[in-house]
Amino acid sequence: MDKKKVFYEIRVFILMLLIISSLRSALADWNEEGLEETASSISGPVLVRKLDVRDRQGQMAFAADVKQWMPAPLGLVFNNAGVTVMQGVADASPEDDQWVFDVNFHGVQNGVTAFLPIMLEQRSGSIVNTSSVFGLVGFPHQAAYCASKFAVRGYTEALRQELRGTGVRAAVVHPGGVKTNIVANARFRSDYRGEFADVTQAAREFATIARTSPERAAQIIHEGIEKQKARIRVGPDAVFLDLLVRFAPSKYYNVIERLESVVRRGR
């Protein structure tokens, strides 16, 4: 199987765990309809499992199935699950915050725990964990999401250092605004401007500012892996914010606010 062709064809940034060997792909997702749709778009053998990434034992069982089903070596493991909640810290629902952290961080942690031993045994392969541009900057009413994505970033960076000399690599992905359903599927309590009455309005706004298509995001990630990059920034907004926070670590949001006001006046 052509890894590049497979990677271009899959729908990225859905709640998914993806594993690719040189010949086969394995997909796990909680959404069976989306899972089957994605699997049908991939040429070649595909193993699919309905799986909640928060379920550590479920991930361990899936890894055992993949090891038995896939020919060695295991090439790429993508931990890509992500959800969000829009709410302020002062009146946040702790249950919603926990949901975000359990999926976004513990889902990644479970995936690494399940598949890393296989890669260490074969002394090859790459683990790719999806953080976010919000793993680079803090943003109002996204505290839990930012915390989870900063956690993914730190966890992957530490893992990368541990893997020195093992033949296994780890990379972290920082997508900017990608045209996906993450906002449409969010839990909603309030937004930081007080403009949106519900998640539908918030999703409509997100659709107008997200500039990167899933296909382009997949291409950027694939190229980053091919170049063995440790950090892969997806979209010009991710590159810009990464640079901004380096030059203005405590003042970056002042710049973001000014840019937002200019963009909003121009509509």
Peptide bond into 94 cis (omega under 30): no
Peptide bond into 73 cis (omega under 30): yes
Task: Give Rg (Cα) of the chain.
Answer: 18
- Determine whether 145 is an active site residue: yes
Bridge partners, residue 74, by sequence = 21
- Return the residue matching tokens 């291409």: 219
Neighbours of 187 (CB within 10 A): 17
- Answer whether 10's CB lies under 8 Å from 222's CB: no
The active-site residue out of 145, 155, 192, 253 is 145
- Return the residue matching tokens 């992905």: 173
Q: Angle at the Cα of 110 (from 106 to 116), degrees rounded to 5?
A: 135
In angstroms, the first-to-last Cα distance of the chain is 45
CA–CA separation, 233 and 216 (whole Å): 12
Q: Angle at the Cα of 221 (from 30 to 3), degrees rounded to 5?
A: 80
CA–CA separation, 188 and 180 (whole Å): 17
Q: Looking at the annotation, which residues are catalytic? A: 145
